[in-house]
Amino acid sequence: MDSFLPTVEKLPQGHPVKVYYEEGALIQDILLELYDADPVEDFQKYFNIFNQLTTIEKRFARKENQLFPYLEKHGWNGPSQGMWSFHDNLRDQIRLLNGYNSEKNTKKIIDNIPYLIEGIKRLMSIEDMRLFPNAMDLLSEDDWKEFYQGDEEIGWMLLEKPLPYPAIEKEAYVHPSDDFSKRDLSFSLDNTFHYDEGYMTPEQVNLLLRFLPVDITYVDENDKVIFYNRGDNRVFPRSKGIIGREVRFCHPPKSVDMVLRIVEEFKAGTKDVAEFWFNFKGRIIHIRYFAIRTNDKQYKGVIEMSQDITDIQKLEGQKRLLDWD
């Protein structure tokens, strides 16, 4: 089967598939440099090239979070399973080499680098021969036009940001929070509200807030408590009586002055975050305050977030998703 490159070269600048191929050319150059690099002779040179290659994670993330969902909408689920697993295998190889790099174990590096290089080459061959040709057949022009915003949020390996597709004036960029354009979604929008990054019903919002592993209290710009989430294991108890109460009456006398100082600093714009941690009934409690502001920096209140981090502090090593039982 011939390369898909001649077809890609005819695509307009900024088209997502064309950008993937421009990125692919960069990857090929990096792989050649990495193949020739000698970590024994010049470790720093090798290390710099390797680090440049690790930005391939952005390419993986764009495929997994942008391209694959569109392919799924058109009935092709294979890449979401097989190719994602291929990505994870390469991620494992990169993690392994990162460990050897930190130890400067040049023998292990030399032994394992070829596997990473050949794995990436194999992946790019599958992309060229199957993934991108099929994607071009399945996705509509309107689909491709929706890619740029999400791709930009994830990023590219390229040194310069690709041109927008379709070509637009810079000021025409619309952040997802302001994007009310209709899309072909796989779920009903009945009884939902449009939030910054999606749609949820009031029930879903309440469930989300209830099951968050942190206690949240929202004090508005008038210093009144307007919301708290009702979790089963709150660090500090809350009741409905707190709603509408002034924040200065919601804390013990010995700490209220500091709370009010934090609020004043937030209002003045001199601070945005305050955090504390302490022992409480044999547990380590982490409390953070965040100033809430609009896009034009107008103060809209403060969120208090409390979390029991006792068990988090005890974590060592790693436990990956595949280790779960």
* Same domain membership, residue 217 and residue 115: no
Are 217 and 74 in the same domain?
no
Q: How far apart are CA 291 and CA 221, in angstroms?
A: 10
Structural domain including 213 reads 204-313
Domain end marker among 166, 184, 215: 166
Instruction: Say how far apart CA 135 and CA 8 lie, in whole Å.
Output: 12
Using omega within 30 degrees of 0 as the cis cutoff, is the peptide bond preceding 253 cis?
A: no
| pTM score above 0.75 | no
Residues 24 and 151 in one domain: yes
What's the number of domains the chain is made of? 2
Residue 239's alpha-carbon distances to 24, 230, 244, in angstroms, are 57, 9, 12
Calculate mean pLDDT across residues 39-59.
96
- Let me know whether 307 and 229 are in one domain: yes
- For residues 235 and 306, membership in a common domain is answered with yes
Q: Encoding tokens for residue 72?
A: 């799924």
Confirm whether 322 is domain-assigned: no
**pLDDT, tens only, 255-287:** 888 989 999 999 999 999 999 999 987 899 999
The reply to whether 68 and 144 lie within a common domain is yes
Q: Which CATH number characterizes residue 46's domain?
A: 1.20.120.520
Give per-residue pLDDT as tens, 79-137.
988 999 999 999 999 999 999 999 999 999 999 999 999 999 999 999 999 999 999 99
pLDDT value of position 48: 96
Nearest-angstrom CA–CA distance, 223 and 8: 57
Pair 37, 153 in one domain: yes
Q: Which phi and psi angles does 285 have, rounded to 5°? A: -110, 130
E-assigned strand segments in the chain: 193-195, 198-200, 215-220, 225-228, 273-280, 283-293, 299-308
Q: Kindly give, in sequence order, each residue whose CB lies less than 8 Å from that of residue 45, ignoring residues fewer than 6 positions away.
A: 37
Query: Which of 290, 275, 201, 283 has the alpha carbon at shortest distance from 234?
Result: 283
